Structure 1
């Protein structure tokens, strides 16, 4: 097999392996005018017949290099026409946009460039955008991230494909090195332009390519290949960890009225690598961008779950997200998403004979069943309580706590503050204003479901009729 056929067969095999396209796909080819993108356009044009692809070239003149940029744009249009490929191009005054937006120059250029590519894809009904990143770009990216600090996800470098705005970005040349691409251009007499900005060292990538990689290659001549191999290994391991983390998320993370919650002991039972990944995934799902989720934020959350840290604690995780530890509950909330509750709390009246009361504030329901004392079984949990029906003073009031609330606790002398009982029973601070309290017509606290029963209206040998009160809640409010 000659070199020409090898390029095509390798690319077809890669496309099958990575599912870069399907027969009949429309593909936008991003063409800057340099050797990489011009070679990509030529390759995909040669494959368009056998693979059934419909191509359109797209070029962006960022307005940085005046006449040089304009000449590149014209060269792209001319070559696309020579190949018979439709070409869309645009001019963007990036210097003016950068000054207006105050964005980093490279980030702003990427934003506008991809915005235009997506617009062209929409116009042509394209499902793919082909980009000309190659193996040397991959090596540079990995080294840049190492220098700046990164994790496994960063070491994975540039993905060969990924979805963005319902279009798949594909990089068919990612496993080819620059030298190979230049030889291909020479072999096919493909015209290309030289971008003078590639020699300017105030761009970090240029500094890495021109100085750092050549210097480090003195210690390892195969350094670019080693970095590319590292990216491939990291990609596979990052993908596996992502799948494991998603499975853990689905089994351990529960919805919360303002976000989501996680059991502290469940988190600590995971390997430290999964702990970090899970915390980051939760924050990402909550809306914190991956780039904003720093190692320090993740570690702060992770250490806050340890036995040695305060049982109740919170901090701002960024992006409007608040992390809250309430005993064994770890909450990730956006306070602005929660339901607005009346600052006065709630109170409902219950008459004798009422069967049930829904409590939306407490995300629960209370039921009241009157039976004979002879048939009444003993309560099985703290979410049930029996009272002498004839000793209760109706109407009952079901409400949230009030300042100064006290209870004559069954089995204890005197009374105890409700606040102290909440602390003793590790009631989450965020739930203390919603936990229902059952009081009689005199305002005396009879029962706090799940916490304590008072000594009032006990069931004795002389009791004829019994009221069984039972509570059900969507989630436990104790730690």
Structure 2
């Protein structure tokens, strides 16, 4: 049997407290939600924070999520966790969920569905109690496993950064997830529990090699430690910290560039190709990764995808690369656009707009970033400031109460008066296409466009409309 390195009780606690203070994971008076599975790691976390409760004046609530898997073993873990909290006088909450059904419904693995349920439960209970901190029990071996798993999947700097010791869970940052045990080895955690006579539950699924993480934990990491370097896990975890600092630096650089480029629009990102080409390759890759992340995260995004998008920078307008989760990257004039394929609110679709009356004809419209092309001066093509258009587009006949903006002050005029001034014969006025956005008239085709939607020096996106007879 492998000899377990014993760490004295007080030194173990002191080391974790030092990590908590260095990383600023807890503040005085925090209400902490602890994810308690009953395994060695979460039991250790619960007991350590209980020992530190008075020092930080903590309020503690433990949450156990029953996944509806593993039958009697799961029931045993639930009972064990409840009894441990009763013994330590800690508030205990249990949540039951049918994870297999959830996974099937949302086309997720049971591992992904289980994680989603846990964090949704933690967040719900935190908000319910006004808690600001959720503590989970990832440790150094988990960190090493994550880094190796991400490397094998083709991840870059972000993947090699591994698990953060602290991250915001909510959009406004009022709830954070912290990992106080991230500086401790698994063997040290188990040794401390043994030293203190504390039992824990064993999840038998962790002993199988059914998942990639399990194979890394049970086969790859032990091989690296026994055959190459006994401190392999520590070195990998320490390297992840360096990667994390590099990732933070690149993120700051990327955000500064994104801000200066004004490239975010809803779930679409527009990057200027010329400026993107001027960046160092490592920053190019990171910028593209961040742009993809803005459209829905980077799950399943690999280096191959990033390099494929970089390859678009030397191609012409219309070139496109498909990305995971129904996303795409494409070149449009001097911009690289990354977007959801379902980025299709009515006004943003590039398609023919058929009028209710076929006599009016049809209009084809497209949306693209402002460029140096000359604004067309023809009766059947017009450019509009897309950012001023707030509702869906419709090509239709004129209506009795229609008015159009005629000057910068916002004054309007009846469409009938506009047509009279333009000497349009009365018999033809109902046949002239009218482009409208909701009740607002943007264009009397071939006659005039509204003043409040014209291209200006502040225009970012152009709506080009072509009428086709």
Q: Specify the SS of the correspondent of 2:176.
A: strand
Q: Is 1:207 equivalent to 2:212 in the alignment? A: no
Q: Is 1:284 equivalent to 2:290 in the alignment? A: no
Q: Which residue pairs with 1:268 in the alignment?
A: 277
- Indicate conservation of the 8 Å contact 2:387/2:461, yes or no: no
Give the paired residue count.
374
Q: CA shift at 1:250, angstroms? A: 1.1
Q: Specify the SS of the correspondent of 1:228.
A: helix
Q: Specify the SS of the correspondent of 2:217.
A: helix
- For the pair shown, the structure with the greater C-alpha radius of gyration is 1
Q: Which residue pairs with 1:184 in the alignment?
A: 192
Q: Which residue pairs with 1:157 in the alignment?
A: 162
Q: Partners of 2:185 and 2:407 in 1: how far apart? A: 72
1:43-54 superposed matches below 5 A: 43-54=48-59
Q: Partners of 2:274 and 2:152 in 1: how far apart? A: 36
Q: Specify the SS of the correspondent of 2:184.
A: coil
- Indicate conservation of the 8 Å contact 2:36/2:42, yes or no: yes
Q: Specify the SS of the correspondent of 2:263.
A: strand
Q: Which residue pairs with 1:325 in the alignment?
A: 331
Deviation string 1:230-256 (CA, Å, 9 cap, x unpaired) is 211111111111111111111124356
Q: Which residue pairs with 1:459 in the alignment?
A: none
1:45-444 superposed matches below 5 A: 45-98=50-103, 101-165=106-170, 166-217=174-225, 218-254=227-263, 259-285=268-294, 287-306=295-314, 309-317=315-323, 319=325, 321-333=327-339, 335-337=343-345, 339=347, 344=362, 360=385, 395=422
- Indicate conservation of the 8 Å contact 2:16/2:183, yes or no: no
Q: Partners of 1:11 and 1:224 in 2: how far apart? A: 18
Q: Partners of 1:358 and 1:310 in 2: how far apart? A: 22
RMSD between aligned residues = 3.6
- Indicate conservation of the 8 Å contact 1:129/1:167, yes or no: yes
Q: Which residue pairs with 1:39 in the alignment?
A: 44
The alignment's TM-score, normalised by the length of structure 2, stands at 0.70
Residues 359, 176 of structure 1: alpha-carbon distance in 2 compared, 3 angstrom cutoff: closer
Q: CA shift at 1:363, angstroms? A: 6.9
- Indicate conservation of the 8 Å contact 2:64/2:81, yes or no: yes
Q: Partners of 1:120 and 1:471 in 2: how far apart? A: 50
Deviation string 1:399-455 (CA, Å, 9 cap, x unpaired) is xxxxxxxxxxxxxxxxxxxxxxxxxxxxxxxxxxxxx999899xxxxxxxxxxxxxx
Q: Partners of 1:326 and 1:6 in 2: how far apart? A: 60
Residues 41, 277 of structure 1: alpha-carbon distance in 2 compared, 3 angstrom cutoff: same
Q: Partners of 2:187 and 2:447 in 1: how far apart? A: 86
Q: CA shift at 1:195, angstroms? A: 2.3
Q: Partners of 2:455 and 2:228 in 1: how far apart? A: 70
- Indicate conservation of the 8 Å contact 1:136/1:178, yes or no: yes
Q: Specify the SS of the correspondent of 2:64.
A: strand
Residues 298, 42 of structure 1: alpha-carbon distance in 2 compared, 3 angstrom cutoff: same
Uncovered stretches (5+) of structure 2, i.e. residues with no partner: 1-6, 355-361, 365-381, 390-404, 409-420, 425-442, 449-453, 463-469
